[in-house]
Amino acid sequence: MDVKGICPIIATPFTESSEVDYESMRNLLRVLIQGKCHGLTLFGIAGEYYKLNDQERRQMIELVLEESKKGNVPSIISITQHATELAVKEAQHTEEAGADCLMLLPPFFLNPTVGALYNHMKLVGEAVRIPVMIQYVPQHTGVPIEPATFARLSSEVENIVYYKIECRPPGAYITRLLESTQNRVKIMAGNAGLQLPEALDRGAIGVMPGCSMYEIYLKIYNHYLQDNREEAIRIHNALLPMLNHILQSTEMIIYYEKKMLKKRGIIESDYCRMPTFTPDKYYDRLFEEYYEQISAYLD
């Protein structure tokens, strides 16, 4: 299956006692599929993958693969292990389980060199046959990588065909990566779609945002495909105040994504495993104001 369009990062619902709430997760997956999202992405950074144990990860993978196959949408599972040997084994296991695409977050603990990151990505890509997407998020990895390096990687490993670009700013990087590969690779935007219209203008084929406001992203994307760029930008502008507020830190966007999902009746609890973001009354008041402004687009 081709990966394109709106492929949200799946939030991890927890109960109030901090257990993974698989029933809420199943409901979330079905809502996203019935809402016409183009794919499901598991273990993105906003999915709190770093707060899960191995058994929870296995059960969540099984659930996503089950629901994505029922809904006939591609499943994208992120490989996040820092050790190359473990990442290779996890990639192979996830392929065998039935994933349609792997997203690979290069290791970042203790700031590995570009050469070490390249070797990691190459070995994981060569270990599987399904498509691989590289997540380029240097604010987390701490290591900038030039587009020419990714162009070389994709020329050496033919199934590394996708890149999720969320460096800051991402626009020129998207253009340079596409130019350096003669448009052979495919780009997905990240960073909550903060620069989504520009990314689409530059050749991106979709975005991987949080899942709580998926309808807004679908509206932006669909208007853009229909050559109604002006309306796409108008809706995106309506979204920006909320994004500007909740994107101040990773834990902050996770916290408010879950508040929205609970408010909308999609998950039972907005619990986040600790450590987590702690708001004050002013943060919450701004959130409610911005939520009211975008609520008309959430249908």
Q: What is the pTM of this model?
A: 0.97
Can you tell me the distance from the alpha carbon of 77 to that of 42, in angstroms, rounded to the nearest whole number? 5
Within-domain flag for 15: yes
pLDDT of residue 294: 97
Q: Does 149 map to a domain?
A: yes
Residue 200's alpha-carbon distances to 3, 91, 233, 283, in angstroms, are 15, 29, 11, 31
Instruction: Please give the Cα distance from 83 to 28 (Å, whole number).
Output: 31
| 287 within domain boundaries | no
Alpha carbons 10 and 48: distance in angstroms, whole number: 9
Q: For residue 143, what pLDDT is reported?
A: 86
Q: What is the rounded CA–CA span in Å between residue 26 and residue 195?
A: 30
pLDDT digits (tens, 9 = 90+) for 59-100: 999 999 999 999 999 999 999 999 999 999 999 999 999 999
CATH code where residue 202 lies: 3.20.20.70
Asked whether residue 231 is assigned to any structural domain, the reply reads: no
In a domain, 38, yes or no: yes
Domain annotation covers residue 228: no
Calpha distance 163→104 (Å, rounded) = 9
CB-side exposure of 268: number of CA atoms within 13 Å?
14
**Is 248 among the domain residues?**
no
Residue 100's pLDDT is what? 98
The percent of residues in the chain predicted with pLDDT above 70, rounded, is 100
- How long is the chain? 299
Rg (CA), the chain: 18
Q: What is the pLDDT of residues 132-191, one digit of tens each?
A: 999 999 988 888 999 999 999 999 999 999 999 999 999 999 999 999 999 999 999 999
| Distance (Å, whole) CA 184 – CA 66 | 31
Q: Is the pLDDT of residue 1 over 90?
A: no
Predicted confidence (pLDDT) at residue 24 exceeds the cutoff of 90: yes
And the tokens for 31?
């809502």
Total structural domains within the chain: 1
Range of the domain at 83: 5-214
Establish if 292 belongs to a structural domain: no
**Which tokens sit at 48?**
């709190």
